[in-house]
Structure 1
Amino acid sequence: MTVAVNCNARIIGGIPRFGDLDNYSGSFGFQWNKFDRTQLHRHSSEMFWHLTGWTPAELVGIDLLEAGAGAGRLSRVILQETEANLYALDYSSAVEANMRSNGSIAPERFHLCQASIYDMPYPDESFDKVLCRGVLQHTPDFAQSVRALVSKAKHGGQIVVDFYEIRGWWTKVNAKYMLRPFTRRMSNDRLLGLIDRNLDWMMAVHDTLVKTPLRHLTRFLPLVDIAGTFPPDLTPAERREWALLDTFDMFSPEFDNPQRTRSVVRMFEQAGCEVTFSAPGIVRAFRR
């Protein structure tokens, strides 16, 4: 099946572009075009299957929406390891990185565009499955974003999302949320350069702290949680590059709105879904 796509688009670099291209997601376009292949990693396959709970057999020939595809690390898994028709979009110029990396893998099944989650160029009730990873907390209105995703799923279709979770009052007591009011106003080049110049000593302090009873103090380093989030098999060069990318990703977005998992479950239920699975920062639901 082919999903109908709104034809009112500009075509730039072979990619349909909808809406205002100068928008709140600019830092993501910057980072993913600079680090376009950094996270095209063997770990991405494991992440995809673990997050979704899907199997290759249930994706054969279906229409799958990936909202907020970024540089395409999960687009790549879908195209290489499934037979789904993939409709991937991102609001940033990261679509260019995705096309460079994945455009030739299965072009007959890959449909990529640049568009807002609030104005996706597909009819409602178009998709068998909807995936949104690493996106919702970076949109202006979390609940509205959930409703937008649900609207594109068929009745009986499944939606899978992840998000930054609020675990308690301490969630925002760290360097990230203390410094973001300043860093998100810096130019992308200036912020990336500042992180790069200080990265090595911060990583050294991080690696020392995680070996001691003072491990919890790493939250006050202006550095991504390396020990808690990185695959264990990265080379030293990969580890540094991931740390540079992910630390920039912490401090640069316009919006960063973590949520309690129970609140996100309620959003899906209010949008007309049956939630079948929830875990810290993950919700899977079917549209009724």
Structure 2
Amino acid sequence: MTPQLINPNTGAPLTQQSAQLIDSTGDSFPRVNGAWRFVKSDNYTGSFGFQWNRFERTQVDRFQRHSSQSYDRFFAVTRWNEQDLSGQNILEVGSGAGRFSQVVLQHTQATLYSVDYSDAVEANYRNNGSDDRLNLFQASVYELPFAAGQFDKVFCFGVLQHTPDVKHSVECLIRMVKPGGELIVDFYPVKGWYTKIHAKYLLRPFTRRMDHIRLLNLIEKHADRLIRAYRFFDRLGVGRIVNRFLPICDIRRTLPTNLSEEELREWVILDTFDMFSPQYDQPQRLETVAKWFAEAGMREVIPSVVRYGDGNEIYTVKGIR
């Protein structure tokens, strides 16, 4: 069954008329560059729109010669079976350039409803728009354009910590899951008192206010020497402590290990920009997110730390409604 689209401001059903979705009062929402638009792009996710339109192919597996990281991460975290997803309606919230959209579309026969709050939807459409199972929306997690309880599976990866109200984001996602369906989220973790004693959190009060182009140029200018410094301290055996104070992403524990030097540099620039540019960065405790799932009515809640690849780890919570 096709999910019912609604006006997120009123809850009124929407019908498609040409390149618009219209409700009974005449309110309408256009389809622009492959995505139905329910919000304007000048919002707190502007850095992500800039980022994913600049690095639109970097994390998409089919454009990478040496990496299947998106595929590996998706199925390690979800533990879904490719064949079991056939004919199901899957909701993805926070799709970016479509790295996980591509995995769903290429490896399953599910129908995908993919949402992002930024104009990264345009990069997703360029990457995945040739598949007619992709339904793309620019909308807020707090005002999703779908009637409640219609999706077999919902996933939200790399997003929650970047929303203004993480608990409310979880509640809005849970509303989308049908009885018996699943929701899986991941997020940056609070591991202890030392979590925010890190270059990212020490510098973000300044970097998140910087012009996106200026910040990106600064990272590109210093990327090579930062990579050399990271590797130097890693070889000395003090990288786990010292490198957290370098303004660079954690190469050893977040990036694929079989990248060429050119590919590695691109991933480093992307992930470092992703560290410093978002408006919000709010890591959460695993038990706290699991508690929110239970309070919102999920009948089975499974918090876990998922490890995949060569040392990558993701903090996740899965719930069955």
Q: Same fold (TM over 0.5)?
A: yes
- Map of 1:88 onto structure 2: 114
Q: CA RMSD in A?
A: 0.9
Residue type of the alignment partner of 1:179: L
- Map of 1:16 onto structure 2: 36
222, 227, 231: which is aligned to 2:247? 222
C-alpha displacement at 1:155, in angstroms? 1.4
Q: Secondary structure at the match of 1:172?
A: coil
2:302 is equivalent to residue 282 of structure 1? no
Q: Structure 2 matches for 1:1-288, cutoff 5 A? A: 1-6=1-6, 7=21, 8-41=28-61, 42-104=68-130, 106-107=131-132, 109-215=133-239, 216-280=241-305, 281-287=315-321
C-alpha displacement at 1:57, in angstroms? 2.1
Q: Secondary structure at the match of 1:113?
A: strand
Find the aligned partners of 2:134 and 2:34 in 1 and give their Cα distance. Answer: 13
C-alpha displacement at 1:37, in angstroms? 0.2
- 8 Å CA contact 1:67, 1:89 repeated in 2: yes
Q: Tell me, which stretches of 5 or more residues in structure 2 are unaligned? A: 7-20, 22-27, 62-67, 306-314
- 8 Å CA contact 1:275, 1:285 repeated in 2: yes
C-alpha displacement at 1:176, in angstroms? 0.2
Q: Secondary structure at the match of 1:170?
A: coil
C-alpha displacement at 1:77, in angstroms? 0.5
Find the aligned partners of 2:34 and 2:286 in 1 and give their Cα distance. Answer: 38
**Quick check: which one's helix share is greater?**
1
- 8 Å CA contact 1:265, 1:275 repeated in 2: no
Residue type of the alignment partner of 1:93: D
- 8 Å CA contact 1:158, 1:285 repeated in 2: yes
Range that drifts further, 77-86 or 36-45: 36-45
C-alpha displacement at 1:217, in angstroms? 0.4
Q: Secondary structure at the match of 1:247?
A: helix
Residue type of the alignment partner of 1:171: T
C-alpha displacement at 1:13, in angstroms? 1.6
- 8 Å CA contact 1:275, 1:283 repeated in 2: no
Find the aligned partners of 1:4 and 1:266 in 2 and give their Cα distance. Answer: 30
C-alpha displacement at 1:78, in angstroms? 0.2
What TM-score, normalized to structure 2? 0.87
Which of structure 1's runs of 4+ aligned residues deviate more than 4 A? Answer: none
Number of paired residues? 285
- Map of 2:310 onto structure 1: none
C-alpha displacement at 1:274, in angstroms? 2.8
Find the aligned partners of 2:5 and 2:264 in 1 and give their Cα distance. Answer: 39
Find the aligned partners of 1:26 and 1:208 in 2 and give their Cα distance. Answer: 35
- 8 Å CA contact 2:82, 2:108 repeated in 1: yes
